[in-house]
Chains A and B, each alone.
Chain A
């Protein structure tokens, strides 16, 4: 790492997260101005975008080589009042909350109370959405049955594809002109709408070019005043690059990084799409310009490496836009989920791993920062060396890169009707979400609490926490003579809430299409221009709307416990079980013990338990998959929680798997914490019994101690473990390499870490089964081995 990158990295790590009122004030002034009157929605949004880019502060950090910030300075985070409006109280919470606070100064408070809140109160899209949701939707939402992504952020989940790394905005303007020329106002009743959208897109093209020009001006001014010859030459070169991109297609490595970065800034300034915009298959895009540059002698590997360091820092300078209301208080994640994809296959299906893949792995290892996050796409065509290099980073325990199955991603996309080339150019974004990069608009709409719905089922449709009859009356469970009766009732409830959620989704989708088109983002996704249609209105080649199931491990254990303890073994009666749930296992510790320790569990390759995972998966899949959306898309499922399993646990009472009330649920498709006792092969076998290929992504976490990564031989075995899971169509796995702190936690709370295996000496054992002295020795050893 060069001294420059070290300094920029330090600056990024040390910068304080603040709220800036800059964007809020600009957007408010624009909306309040005469200019905003009488425009069609897309043109209004394009003019607003242009106004933002014309007036937002220019930020050039000392020594940096890639320019542009979302806010006026690193980690100064803008707000989006047209989407959701922070109250004064929200600002106080953000300022003082324990985890990841955003400092709010008096000036921001003043601007909010005098300008922003008076203008937007009752007029944000969140207000619009909440006003249009049915009482059933609101009741289910409050009960914690589902969350709603678009309530505080705009639809996003979009990754830049191949085309835009080779296209300038002047080229796009020509495409727009062609599209306008081919409009048929006589035969196409939507021609006027298309024309307005295309007009908006053209404004957006000019706006981003103008914005880059402002940077070029500022850089030239800086260069003129610069006394250091070296830096002056850099500034002059950077100015020339900003004159060139994004107006024109990038020709060099440096131009390509700056080109992407302007596009990134455009997307996150226009709105706050859920999950950061993302360069996607970065090794594929950069490799040709890197090769060309190093071969022709215009770029050295050291220069390229330094540029990548500067590029990495830019992502880390951008925390996720802070939330409002309850979520502001609870949310402790502020990463914006930008996920760099490495490896996979080329458009022709051949091995895509190249030198740039390995260079980027080095960057990831050395930068070791939260954002951008990274993943490897593992195809059966990729060499083992590629996986080994990734394991070398994974073993250091910072959770990156995660590991994905290219063949599964491709099959998932093909099943959804994508062409083979679009599928091969795809990957995963956010946490694990499958998408066709550059061609697909795939929205995530909210987490779906599979466990809460069972709780509601056990209470005949009633939610005991909020005191509301949220679901249909599917019967008192003690009248169910068979386990299948319970499953039928559960299925009815799942379908009921899926209906409510989908109805809500369709209304929300329409509000974005009508009120919040995104002409700039639409430029980037293929077919929006040709269709003359906005990204938010179905302009992209492919459109998918996802609902994310949460708590598969928990719901499986709960249903298994009911099947086993009530029906098959007749250990308890329904009455006994329901009473124990109601009393949160008070005076029922014996029962809780039987449920935790003497009942089959998901994650152990036990077909008896895993049958319930498959059954729930099928119910959820059938309730959602295939339902159409207003923008011409299809509803589908994926299985990932981010951190919602904590929130969903906090609204769900005690459950028949022995879990006490308000405790977090299982995450992703991983087993509930500590219940898998047969090692990683058994977890993988359980997790692969559901059909991953009918999802848009699943998330599996595996916990390992660092000793499993000790040498090449163990890398070989982990590689085989990965390839085995992927041959069973597993979508994703993440290695959670435990730290000494985790081991100390496990000493304190052994019941939560029953699955924790550590290498002892020539063999492995469950950490819990070791004596305290030996545990301490392993903790010391782990600490010693940690980087």
Chain B
């Protein structure tokens, strides 16, 4: 069994507690306008042109985006950084793309990692079959769970899919006792307004008593632009601006009464 991974990051410090290794898995059922890992969207391997410079000369080569890993290879890779994880309370994170798009590989990898003593985190859009959710849940210490929009129509417009499955999966996790950190992309003109934040507060309020251990507000940055160019993709966010720090503080203030740790960024 093999999984397709487009990037492995060591010293990942924004994808869960401690120092982590993050595996970015290929394929995503969503099509978010603001996606900053567009190379992760397609399910298969894609090639990109890499340009290296030696003095004045440029060398072009084809680079494959997407490497196949077996769960054992994942474990071996993670073992190399065990010392850092043990000193920092860190572990392994699967992100993407959407890791739940490769459920067998993911479950097998998580199970191996857990039996080797590693803390596991899955960073997900929540858009997956409930059965998949259930099987992954048993080997996962922490979910980083995206809540992108609460209104189903708007969700469909900006991400390409309905959010009802996402919300029912969230409840499935919470009722099953899973620990979840909610990640909220703060997108100008989409979610960056007080009204949305108020709604979000109510949404979370109604799930009080569950293990929602944090809320991360992820401000939209024009970081994906260079990637869009590199991969020759259109950028639908071209006319949107970035979020100011002051606005972000406002939104944080709205959510703070929940008594859940709110922070900016991952």
Q: Is B83 an interface residue (CB 8 A)?
A: yes
Question: Which residues of A have CB within 8 Å of B88?
Answer: 716-717, 720-721, 724
Partner of B19, one of A597, A681, A769: A681
Q: How far is the CB of A713 from chain B (nearest CB, A)?
A: 8
Partner of B59, one of A593, A685, A708: A593
Q: How far is the CA of A765 from the CA of B265 in the complex (A)?
A: 15
A773 x B225 contact (CB < 8 A): yes
Q: How far is the CB of B151 from chain A (nearest CB, A)?
A: 24
**Closest residue to B226 on the A side, CB-wise?**
A771
Partner of A720, one of B59, B87, B221: B87
Partner of B84, one of A590, A724, A751: A724
Q: Is B14 an interface residue (CB 8 A)?
A: yes
Among A658, A679, A772, A773, the most chain B Cβ lie within 10 Å of the Cβ of A679
A593 x B54 contact (CB < 8 A): yes
**Closest residue to B77 on the A side, CB-wise?**
A605
A721 x B226 contact (CB < 8 A): no
Q: How far is the CA of A723 from the CA of B18 in the complex (A)?
A: 13
Q: Is B199 an interface residue (CB 8 A)?
A: no
Using known A-B contacts A589-B57, A681-B11, A717-B19, determine if residue A760 contacts B225 with beta carbons closer than 8 Å: no
B223 x A774 contact (CB < 8 A): yes
Q: Is A764 an interface residue (CB 8 A)?
A: yes
Question: Which residues of B have CB within 8 Å of A777?
Answer: 222
Q: How far is the CA of A592 from the CA of B223 in the complex (A)?
A: 32
Q: How many A-B residue pairs have CB under 8 A?
A: 100
B80 x A774 contact (CB < 8 A): no
Q: Is A615 an interface residue (CB 8 A)?
A: no
Q: How far is the CB of A467 from chain B (nearest CB, A)?
A: 28
Q: Is A680 an interface residue (CB 8 A)?
A: yes
B10 x A721 contact (CB < 8 A): no
Q: How far is the CB of B134 from chain A (nearest CB, A)?
A: 29
Question: Which residues of A have CB within 8 Å of B219?
Answer: 761
B266 x A751 contact (CB < 8 A): no
Q: How far is the CA of A750 from the CA of B18 in the complex (A)?
A: 30
Question: Which residues of B have CB within 8 Å of A1?
Answer: none
A721 x B19 contact (CB < 8 A): yes
Q: Which of B180-234 contact A (CB under 8 A)?
A: 216, 218-219, 221-223, 225-226, 229
Q: Is B13 an interface residue (CB 8 A)?
A: yes
Using known A-B contacts A589-B55, A724-B84, A724-B87, determine if residue A764 contacts B14 with beta carbons closer than 8 Å: yes
Q: How far is the CA of A39 from the CA of B53 in the complex (A)?
A: 67
Q: Is B131 an interface residue (CB 8 A)?
A: no
Q: Is A294 an interface residue (CB 8 A)?
A: no
Q: How far is the CA of A428 from the CA of B225 in the complex (A)?
A: 47
Q: Is B126 an interface residue (CB 8 A)?
A: no
Q: How far is the CA of A685 from the CA of B79 in the complex (A)?
A: 12
Using known A-B contacts A593-B59, A763-B266, determine if residue A721 contacts B84 with beta carbons closer than 8 Å: yes
A728 x B83 contact (CB < 8 A): yes
Among A592, A685, A720, the most chain B Cβ lie within 10 Å of the Cβ of A720
Question: Which residues of B have CB within 8 Å of A760?
Answer: 221, 223
A720 x B53 contact (CB < 8 A): no
Partner of A596, one of B54, B80, B89, B218: B54
- Hey, what's the 0/1 contact readout for A591-602 against B, CB within 8 Å counting as 1? 011001100000
A681 x B53 contact (CB < 8 A): no
Partner of B229, one of A605, A678, A771: A771
Q: Is B71 an interface residue (CB 8 A)?
A: no
B-side interface mostly: mixed
Q: Is A770 an interface residue (CB 8 A)?
A: yes
Partner of A592, one of B54, B81, B266: B54
B81 x A751 contact (CB < 8 A): no
B54 x A774 contact (CB < 8 A): no
A763 x B222 contact (CB < 8 A): no
Question: Which residues of B have CB within 8 Å of A385?
Answer: none
Q: Which of A699-734 contact B (CB under 8 A)?
A: 708, 714, 716-717, 720-721, 723-724, 727-728
A679 x B226 contact (CB < 8 A): no
Question: Which residues of A have CB within 8 Å of B15?
Answer: 763
Using known A-B contacts A679-B11, A762-B266, A763-B14, determine if residue A593 contacts B80 with beta carbons closer than 8 Å: no
Question: Which residues of B have CB within 8 Å of A727?
Answer: 83, 87
Q: Is B164 an interface residue (CB 8 A)?
A: no
Question: Which residues of A have CB within 8 Å of B86?
Answer: 724
Partner of A680, one of B11, B54, B80, B222: B11
Q: Is B52 an interface residue (CB 8 A)?
A: yes
Question: Which residues of B have CB within 8 Å of A597?
Answer: 52, 59
Q: Is A682 an interface residue (CB 8 A)?
A: yes
Q: How far is the CA of A4 from the CA of B55 in the complex (A)?
A: 52
Partner of A724, one of B9, B83, B216, B229: B83
Q: Is B90 an interface residue (CB 8 A)?
A: yes
Using known A-B contacts A761-B265, A771-B225, determine if residue A681 contacts B10 with beta carbons closer than 8 Å: yes
Question: Which residues of A have CB within 8 Å of B10?
Answer: 678-679, 681-682
Using known A-B contacts A593-B54, A761-B219, determine if residue A685 contacts B9 with beta carbons closer than 8 Å: no
- Hey, what's the 0/1 contact readout for B156-200 against A, CB within 8 Å counting as 1? 000000000000000000000000000000000000000000000
Q: How far is the CA of A727 from the CA of B82 in the complex (A)?
A: 12
Partner of B221, one of A605, A681, A761: A761
Question: Which residues of B have CB within 8 Å of A765?
Answer: 223
Question: Which residues of B have CB within 8 Å of A717?
Answer: 13, 18-19, 88
Question: Which residues of A have CB within 8 Å of B218?
Answer: 761-762
Question: Which residues of B have CB within 8 Å of A773?
Answer: 222, 225-226
Using known A-B contacts A681-B84, A720-B84, A771-B225, determine if residue A589 contacts B14 with beta carbons closer than 8 Å: no
B83 x A769 contact (CB < 8 A): no
Q: How far is the CB of B232 from chain A (nearest CB, A)?
A: 14
Q: How far is the CB of A447 from chain B (nearest CB, A)?
A: 29
A679 x B9 contact (CB < 8 A): yes
Q: How far is the CA of A475 from the CA of B87 in the complex (A)?
A: 49
Question: Which residues of B have CB within 8 Å of A771?
Answer: 225-226, 229
B57 x A774 contact (CB < 8 A): no
Question: Which residues of A have CB within 8 Å of B83?
Answer: 724, 727-728
Q: How far is the CA of A754 from the CA of B245 in the complex (A)?
A: 30
Q: How far is the CB of B71 from chain A (nearest CB, A)?
A: 20
A769 x B59 contact (CB < 8 A): no
Partner of A751, one of B12, B54, B80, B222: B54
Using known A-B contacts A593-B52, A720-B90, A774-B223, determine if residue A681 contacts B81 with beta carbons closer than 8 Å: yes
Question: Which residues of A have CB within 8 Å of B11?
Answer: 679-681, 721
Question: Which residues of B have CB within 8 Å of A605?
Answer: 80
Question: Which residues of A have CB within 8 Å of B221?
Answer: 760-762
Question: Which residues of B have CB within 8 Å of A716?
Answer: 88
**Closest residue to B185 on the A side, CB-wise?**
A762
Question: Which residues of B have CB within 8 Å of A590?
Answer: 59
Q: How far is the CB of B15 from chain A (nearest CB, A)?
A: 8
Q: How far is the CB of B191 from chain A (nearest CB, A)?
A: 15
Q: How far is the CA of A679 from the CA of B84 in the complex (A)?
A: 13
Question: Which residues of A have CB within 8 Å of B36?
Answer: 763
Q: How far is the CB of B233 from chain A (nearest CB, A)?
A: 13
**Closest residue to B8 on the A side, CB-wise?**
A678
Q: How far is the CA of A751 from the CA of B13 in the complex (A)?
A: 26
Q: How far is the CA of A639 from the CA of B150 in the complex (A)?
A: 58
Partner of B87, one of A592, A723, A761, A774: A723
Q: How far is the CA of A605 from the CA of B90 in the complex (A)?
A: 19
Q: How far is the CB of B143 from chain A (nearest CB, A)?
A: 17
Q: Which 7 A-B pairs have the closest CB atoms?
A: A771-B226, A720-B88, A761-B221, A679-B11, A762-B266, A720-B87, A762-B265
Give me 16 other A-B pairs in contact (C-beta within 8 A), A678-B10, A720-B87, A772-B226 excluded.
A590-B59, A593-B57, A681-B84, A720-B18, A720-B88, A720-B89, A724-B19, A724-B83, A724-B84, A727-B87, A751-B52, A762-B265, A764-B12, A764-B13, A764-B14, A771-B226
Q: Spell out A's residues near B (CB within 8 Å).
A: 589-590, 592-593, 596-597, 605, 658, 678-682, 684-685, 708, 714, 716-717, 720-721, 723-724, 727-728, 750-751, 760-765, 769-774, 777
14 contacting pairs across A/B (C-beta < 8 A): A593-B54, A658-B54, A681-B19, A716-B88, A721-B19, A721-B87, A724-B84, A751-B54, A760-B221, A764-B13, A764-B14, A770-B226, A771-B226, A774-B222
